[in-house]
Structure 1
Amino acid sequence: MAKREVDIVIISDVHLGTYGCHAKELLKYLKSIKPKMLILNGDIIDIWQFSKSYWPETHMKVVRRILKFVTDGVPVYYLTGNHDEMLRKFTDFNLGTFQLLDKIVLNIDGRKAWIFHGDVFDVTMQHSKWLAKLGAVGYDTLILINSFTNWLLTKMGKPKMSFSQKVKARFKDAVKFINQFEQTAADLAVEKAYSYVICGHIHHAEIRQIQSTEKNGSVLYLNSGDWVESLTALEYHNREWRIFKYNPDDFKQETEDDDHTDAEDLDAKLDVRVLLERFKQETH
């Protein structure tokens, strides 16, 4: 199956190492594309909730696939988020075409793009990190229960449902938070004279022009969504942005043709669990 060429791919909020992560679907997507640049915009590995007892092979395969892009010479930028904030002590680390950063400004066809995870705008993260971590555990538990419920619904021939989306829809504060997040990002981007501001963090994929409330001007706000619920990514190709939405019907012909090659190229003995344990130990 021919790989689809894309100029830039941006993914965020994958949360590898948690039960809610759709690593299998993400792997299929990554294997279907040939990007010129890959940006991992935070919360790729969930170090907050990382446990040595849960690291499925599919999660390891996602890591191998990302590293394969690096070995193939594709520029890969890993921008830290709140769930992988422990990596921030290693900011500016680079290895070949791989760079670990907190944020980045790119010139994309003559337009400046300001790219960062977005947790800096989250008041809970700034003042009550323990509450944010507790919420993360609750969210992951909700996703796990939701997955089991959807399995039962599928067996019964009924449509799937999203618990968290229903919760968000019923609480005005959730919608208000998303709107404030987007507006804050846009206001700052206009002030800094950027054409694009690209975030993750809120698990809500979006592309829309936002007018600044403080200065004359507007900016194109983009959010890559997540790979826990929405299964989305941002793609830039032929001077146009679009939101990629995973559809299982598009990947029915996908095969496991090169999984063994990934392991051979990247050393199958690479144990991410050991590395993550070291990160956690060094930060406590």
Structure 2
Amino acid sequence: MNKNKKVFFASDQHFGAPTPERSFPREQKFVKWLDEVKEEAEAIFLLGDLFDFWFEYKTVVPKGFIRVLGKLAEIRDSGIPIYFFVGNHDLWMFDYFEKELNIPVYHDNQEFTFNGKTFLIGHGDGKGPGDLGYKRMKKVFTNPFSKWLFRWLHPDLGVRLAQYLSVKNKLISGEEDVKFLGEENEWLVQYTKRKLETKHYDYFVFGHRHLPLVINVGKNSQYINLGDWISYFTYGVFDGEKFELKKY
């Protein structure tokens, strides 16, 4: 890492939910954050669910989000690396970010090393024991035949239907409080501990749970959940020596 530079992490913005009008102030706030951190950024990691729904037709992408997309393009064009990890709400992302914004898109966890510290980074959905219903559903949604069928829906119908079903999730509509379940019941905690049985990581950084969490999961190893930009407006920052979870 360059001197005085930092690596920034954010997740679960869910722009577009519960309505574009109510989402807009959150999008403005996130763009302001991006504008501020770019001055110190060695790299920026976005860990999924940037949008509450995203599907790329061959010639069409969902309407809206122009401010955040424009800011990401500006930052990337300035030479700052941005990495995007697909979440469970934007899992139908294909090559739009890569072709239009020059931002690599990852569909599973990836390893990175900064200043000798090893990171395992991902959205976090479908990891660890349990959540079998979601894991089965994800297999259906990511099946090429399912994506082919959905593409045959007119975008006006397909996007509207998907947005309706997504917002029906009380977690995203803001009507449900997410609570810490205890280490023994947090699937991502169990997942990180199992990963440590075969390889050491200094930091496990995930989203998905909508809870800002920092938990020691092994000797010199931490699990960090980034929270969200719905209730907490939290983000992670690594300065080359230590990782901190901060509120904007």
Tell me, yes or no, whether TM beats 0.5: yes
1:127 matched to 2:136? The reply is yes
* C-alpha separation in 1, matches of 2:67 and 2:98: 23
Aligned to 2:176: 164
Aligned Cα root-mean-square deviation (Å): 3.3
- Bigger helix share: 1
Please list every run of 5 or more consecutive structure 2 residues that lacks an aligned counterpart in the other structure: 141-161
Aligned to 1:32: 36
SS in 2 for 1:164: coil
Please list every run of 5 or more consecutive structure 1 residues that lacks an aligned counterpart in the other structure: 144-162, 212-216, 247-284
Distance 1:97 1:107, change over 3 A: farther
Contact 1:186 1:221 in 2 (8 A): no
* C-alpha separation in 2, matches of 1:7 and 1:116: 19
* C-alpha separation in 2, matches of 1:186 and 1:12: 22
List structure 1 runs of 4+ shifted beyond 3 angstroms: 89-97, 133-136, 174-178
Aligned to 1:14: 13
Aligned to 2:193: 186
* C-alpha separation in 1, matches of 2:29 and 2:77: 22
Distance 1:74 1:225, change over 3 A: same
- C-alpha offsets along residues 204-252 of structure 1, whole Å, 9 cap, x if unaligned? 11222113xxxxx562111111111111111111412111212xxxxxx
* C-alpha separation in 1, matches of 2:100 and 2:31: 23
Aligned to 1:225: 227
Distance 1:30 1:66, change over 3 A: same
Alignment-mate amino acid for residue 25 of structure 1? K
SS in 1 for 2:205: strand
Percentage of pairs with the same residue: 20
Contact 2:184 2:190 in 1 (8 A): no
Contact 2:120 2:201 in 1 (8 A): yes
1:23 matched to 2:23? The reply is no
* C-alpha separation in 1, matches of 2:116 and 2:49: 29
* C-alpha separation in 1, matches of 2:91 and 2:184: 22
* C-alpha separation in 1, matches of 2:193 and 2:167: 26
1:199 matched to 2:206? The reply is yes
Aligned length: 206
Alignment-mate amino acid for residue 180 of structure 1? W
Contact 1:114 1:189 in 2 (8 A): no
1:85 matched to 2:91? The reply is yes
- C-alpha offsets along residues 137-167 of structure 1, whole Å, 9 cap, x if unaligned? 2326742xxxxxxxxxxxxxxxxxxx522xx
* C-alpha separation in 1, matches of 2:168 and 2:89: 11
SS in 1 for 2:92: helix
* C-alpha separation in 1, matches of 2:80 and 2:223: 25
SS in 1 for 2:32: helix
Distance 1:105 1:238, change over 3 A: closer
Contact 1:225 1:233 in 2 (8 A): yes
What does residue range 83-122 of structure 1 map to in structure 2 within 5 Å? 83-87=89-93, 89-90=94-95, 93=98, 98-102=103-107, 103-121=109-127, 122=131
Alignment-mate amino acid for residue 35 of structure 2? K
What does residue range 42-53 of structure 1 map to in structure 2 within 5 Å? 42-47=48-53
* C-alpha separation in 1, matches of 2:55 and 2:97: 24
- C-alpha offsets along residues 124-143 of structure 1, whole Å, 9 cap, x if unaligned? 3202459xx85752326742
